Structure 1
């Protein structure tokens, strides 16, 4: 793919919602500053932080980072506030504990500029923190997207689409706001492109929102997602249920194959530790 000349490259915006994330924000911003692209703005939205460390980190930021502030309103509202202040043609939401690969911006812009129909550019995802290695995601299809999210939050989109669609749903404070937003973008006829590089760098924490979600809360969230996009779901109902039943068959297969192993692990906590140690050893061997 031909490289876009430097003088014509559009401005891009890296937006960082932040609530009491002073322990990780410096590392996140260091990765944003290291992006190899000539026209980048970095905007942090302080979502009503209260802890002294975060307030100190924010007060010491240089002129290369713009800070907008609001009363605590949740992650979707903080993203919206930062994007509202952004001037870039393309936007990248970077949570205050994650990182971005230096080459991600340039690669995404080349895709957007080459095809005006593209609405989302995402990439392979590398974990760090409490777990390591690549996060496996299914290939994109509308049926899959309506069932579960295979587009990571660390993905690029057009600011114009954000404005047209009204931004992230601020009612989804408990999560999946990115999934709902991707569905709305795709419902406009936009296409999705995945880069075959590990450009999204995602911190794993055992206490993160995604790891502590209850079934009741998930049900409420996905009911909201369906209400927001009911016409699109109805338009693709056959694809939705096809994927649903394929997924059920897959789960039944794995349950039949590994159910006894799972029961052993649940009944014997030490076995769980042994399995984790074997997996860690296997990962180390693959690296050598």
Structure 2
């Protein structure tokens, strides 16, 4: 492995791992291959039980060719929030990169994302667009922003570089959130803790995000309403202060999806193909009061 001496001395990395086999190697090597590697890497293993995964972690620790200090820490399985908090607690640098063990980074991620943070004191965290691979091959473009941008939806990837001081001041990741959305919640907490704070996004896909049907991120969407309720109740004051923005942002998302679905139905009908049962049922019994009936009229008129 070629040694890179251009270390980002103000950035340390925390990689969380749980039964991830060889995937953790890809994540860690993507840190070694950065144009500006982190000063230190802490791998926080959240109670791995798979023997092959344990052996892989041991081999990383014993690899003499590794030029960035790597610390492997094991704890009993406590969830990703607890793992991230434990890892960040061990860091000393002012900026901490949080990376899931089944994802990886493009070589310029740390260079470009940390540069944004150094240039903007009110930026409490930063990340980039995402290139998904696996089941889905796509580019996903979160937009970052101030706290109002985060009230209706999460606008930053879980993989990010955050300011350690702000993380500490807001109490870290919520360790009771074991079903997902813990990254959204901490972004709200961090944005809420500092006036004029915002989160930056490099508009280039520098995160390689692995997509599989049974990933924790995909499964968390089945509990979206329950998790959103928890987040809203925890941050109720900021939601009350910005209720108009929240409602309008959600409505904007809802209408854009409705228009997209409408265009797809029209296209299927124009091709004289059969509609799915769901789409056919929508035409026969459109929803009322949310733009559904208007969409059905437009579809039939075409």
Length-normalised TM-score, structure 2: 0.79
Q: Which moved more, 1:94-103 or 1:33-42?
A: 33-42
CA distance change for structure 1 residues 139 and 185 in 2, over 3 Å: closer, same or farther?
closer
* 1:48 is aligned to 2:47: yes
Matched residue count = 261
Query: Which residue of the partner structure matches residue 251 of structure 1?
Result: 257
Q: Does residue 231 of structure 1 match 2:237?
A: yes
Per-residue CA deviation, residues 258-288 of structure 1 (Å, 9 max, x unaligned), is 24649947459xxxxxxxxxxxxxxxxxxxx
Structure 1 unaligned regions, length at least 5: 1-5, 269-288
SS across alignment from 1:94:
strand
- Counterpart of 2:128? 123
- Report the secondary structure of 2:42's partner residue: strand
Instruction: Tell me which of 65, 70, 91 is aligned to 1:65.
Output: 70
Give 1:79's match in structure 2, choosing from 76, 80, 84: 84
> Which stretch has the larger CA shift, 143-152 or 159-168?
143-152
- 1:18 matched to 2:17? The reply is yes
Mapped partners of 1:174, 1:109: distance in 2: 29
Q: CA deviation at 1:39?
A: 4.8
Larger Rg: 2
The CA RMSD measured in Å over matched residues stands at 2.4
Distance 1:176 1:53, change over 3 A: same
> In the alignment, which residue of structure 1 is the partner of 2:150?
145
Contact 1:11 1:89 (C-alpha < 8 Å) held by counterparts: yes
Matched, 1:170 2:167: no
Quote the offset at 1:240 in angstroms.
Answer: 0.8
- Taking the aligned partners of 1:258 and 1:38, their CA distance within structure 2 comes to 45
Gaps of 5+ in 2: 1-5, 63-68, 279-302
Quick one: distance in 2 between partners of 1:264 and 1:124? 36
Structure 1 stretches of 4+ moved >3 Å: 136-144, 259-268
Q: Displacement of 1:133 after TM fit?
A: 2.7
Whole-angstrom CA distance in 1 between matches of 2:214 and 2:34: 29
For the 8 Å contact 2:142–2:201, the answer to whether it is kept is: no
C-alpha spacing 1:247/1:39, structure 2 compared with 1 (3 Å):
closer
Structure 2 counterparts to residues 90-239 of structure 1, below 5 A: 90-138=95-143, 140=145, 142-187=147-192, 188-189=194-195, 190-213=197-220, 215=222, 217-239=223-245
Q: Residue 240 of structure 1 is aligned with which of 218, 242, 246?
A: 246
Q: Aligned partners of 2:10, 2:144: CA distance in 1, in Å?
A: 29
| 3-state SS of paired residue (1:212) | helix
Determine which of 75, 91, 94 is the counterpart of 1:89: 94
